[in-house]
Structures are given as structure tokens and as C-alpha cells.
Structure 1
Amino acid sequence: MRNLFGLALALTLVLPLRAEEAREFGLSAAPEIVASGLLDYILPRFALKTARRVQLADSGADARLGPDDGTGQPVMARGGVTYAVTLDSGNPAAKVFADWLGSEIGQTAIRAFQPENGPPFESAAVEAAAPQVTITGNAELGRKVAEIHCARCHRVSADSRGIGIGSTPSFPAMKALPDWAERFGRFYALNPHPAFLRVDGLSPPFDPMLPPPIVPVTLSLDEVEAVQAYAAGLTAADLGGEIVNR
């Protein structure tokens, strides 16, 4: 009985730790990629998009980003060299990173980076077949977060919950847009949200010279994922015609 109690206690202590570790992974990158500044550009965007953190390592990492040797997934090219991401462990956060790099959002981030020296990075040939990032999270928690915070400005459901200030679109209306997943995936980085909203552990502090214009909002990573999951379950609004994405 004592041994069973000890085992139960050990599982109680270890399992939450493993769940937390799944949000982080180690990454090693080719020297020329590091020197280009690409990682400084894309890794914060990846963290904000997926709530996963990257720890750079020289060896023993969960994933490698380097010249394509045929063992990994090609994700970009530069100067005639194709680069691939290779997974060397079962860390699920590393798999999320590989999927994000191959997704349309990741490829857009790679192409948008402008290095100070040398040519820009280009998309890999397999971009069209790249998997999309799966939206996860507690949808019920997301509904509650949306009703408390997002409903300040948006109508967050079809039953007209929320204020709906001026031209601020409703959640169902945004769900009808072709890029709704990207919009809800990085809402905290899109204006005007950075002026008053922070994601705990990811967002920089407010500029003392530019204080929030309204009562500031701080969300946890779980709450961010929950809002995304809630939006994913909404029925898109019927806008009565062909949607034009502006």
C-alpha cells in the first residue's frame, strides 16, 4: 500500500511537469541561419502564434534546422541551398514548430524577413503540401474569456453578446473570412490589441510613454489557446454575398 501511495504521489508531481515541458523544445540551427538573424525574426512570431517556446542549443536538441540532407522536411531556401527541419525526438512542441514552418503562416514569415546581408529566404518547393497547425484549447474557457474581455468591443456570438463598437467585426463575421484562423491565432499582435493587451510570459511590457488607453488585459497562454478553440467552433455568419478579404 505504501508503494502504491508513493507511485501515485510521483505521478501527481511528474505529469504536470511533462505537460509543461511539452510547450518547450530545443532547436539547433546551422550557423549561417543564426547569423542571418532569421531566428530572431520568426521565433517570437512562432511563440505568439502557438504558445510554444524555443530553446536554442548546439547539440542534443529536439529539432535541427539546416541544409537538407534528405532526412527532414524542406522549409526554405537561400542562395541555392535548401534548408530542412529534422525532428530528433518525440517532443510534440518540436512537431508543432515543424508544422508551423511548413504552413502558409510560417512560410509568409520566412519570406517577409529581410536580412541585413545576403539574399532573402524563399519558400521550399513543398509549401503547398505543408500541414496546417491544429487549433487546440478549452473552447468553454474561451467562451468565458471572450465574454469577459473581447465583448468590450466585439459581438462574440450569434446571439449578439457583446457591444460591437462601430466597425469592429463580430466573431461570426470574422469566422466567415478566408483567413479567420490566422486572425484569431494572432489577435493579440494585431492592432489595436497591443495597446492594451498582453500575453503573460510572451508579450513585452507596456511602453511607459504610451500607457494603455483603457483598462489593460492580461491573458495566459491557456486563455489565448482557449479563445482560438472557441472561435474554431463558431458558425460563420452569412454575409449575403461573396466575401472580399481586405
Structure 2
Amino acid sequence: MRIVKYICSVILLVTSLSYTNAEERIVTISAPNSLIASGFFDYIIPRFKLKTQISVKLVTDSAMIAISKNSGRAFLQMGDIEFKIDIVEENNYSERFFNWLKSDVGRKTISSIQENDEPVFVSLEIEEVATRQVRLSGDAKLGLKQSQQKCARCHVVEKGRKNSIGSTPSFFALRTFDDWDLRFSGFYLLRPHPAFTIIPDVTEPFDDSRPAPIVPIELDLNELQAIIAYVQNIPPADLGEPVKHQ
């Protein structure tokens, strides 16, 4: 009997630790009250989660995805109101939600929301960002060294390395974005980087009452330019063709 109790205790402990260490699969979204009250999210969230096993949480600030009437790319129309979407924090979960919205399945899901046998929403085709030619100067060799020292604890920065944190995208995945250089140039403004990044004469000093949660990363603008020059020379990740549904 004691052995059985011991085994059960071990199983419960392992299960508890596994649950605690499991990465939370969630995307946070901010949206106008009018869209929330319309029932749009009540309808699409369960279907998105069923498809991806990713939860969606509606928040008022610090969202991974911001939906508004003013900024971003138009993706949805409700009556005369056009809603736009903007990815504020790039990670696997925000990208999955964005890609689901513009997929055939996502658009058909939106179009299936009806009231009195009439569609409530019109799913708009999301415009692709125009491809830009980027030519940057900088020491790419120094950029690799700086990336290894200051970025590799969270991101995969070179081939053959697989250590990264959870849903943190690799440099190769980030390189697939048409505006990748802008994302890298202003990375210190994008969550979670402001909490632990120091760029002299650019970022504000940390508040003594709110110290950095991890050992801060410090680099100057020349080192940042070198990192961007390095990333310019790496191949974008091959993410494959979008899934097509018949």
C-alpha cells in the first residue's frame, strides 16, 4: 500500500512539474469594444483554438496583435466599419493567428458568421507588404559575434544551433519578413526587449524600483548595425508553401 501511495505521489509531482514548465500557448489581442461586443471573437476563438491548440486572450494593452480602425492592414468589414490588424509582437503564436485569419479556412469561418441568414462580416483580403530592396553597410563578421554573445540565449542566430526560448523566432524566420531590417533596427522597442536592453544615448536608464528581469544586454549603434549587416547575408527560412484547402 505504501508503495502504491509513493508511486502515485511521484506521478502527481512529475505531472505538476510538467504542467508548470509547459509553455503557455496563447496569443493576446487588443480590439475595439464594438468588435468585441459584436460576438466576432466568441465565434472565431473556439474554432481557431480547435485548429491550432492556441488560446486567445483579449487584453486592453501590451497585446501581441492590435486590431483597430486606424492603423495596420485592413482585414475585416462590419457594415461601414473597416477594421485593421497589426502584429505588435512577432512570435509563432501571433503569426499563426494572423496567417489563420488570411487563410481560406479563416476567411470562410468569418464569412459563416450570420444574423437572420445574412453575413455579419466581410473578410477582406489582407494586402501583402511590398518587397523592398535593402542594402546595408556594417561589419557582418562583428555582427555574427555580437549575435552569438547577445542574442543567442533566446534566438537561433546561426545554422547548426537549436537553442532558443519557446516561441522565440530564429533569425532565419525573422529574415522572411519584407521589413526585417526595420524590425531589427528598432528591436529594442519591441517586447520583451525594452525590459533588458541598453543602447547608450538611445534607451532610457532602467528604473531603480524595476530592475531588469535578466542580465541586461548592452550594445551600441555600431554593433546593432553590424548585427543587421550579418542578418542581411543569411538566407530566409524556407517556410514552405501555404496550406491550400479544397
Question: What TM-score range do you get, normalising by the shorter chain?
Answer: 0.3 to 0.5
TM-score normalised by L of structure 2: 0.43
TM-score normalised by L of structure 1: 0.43
- Structure with higher Rg: it is 2
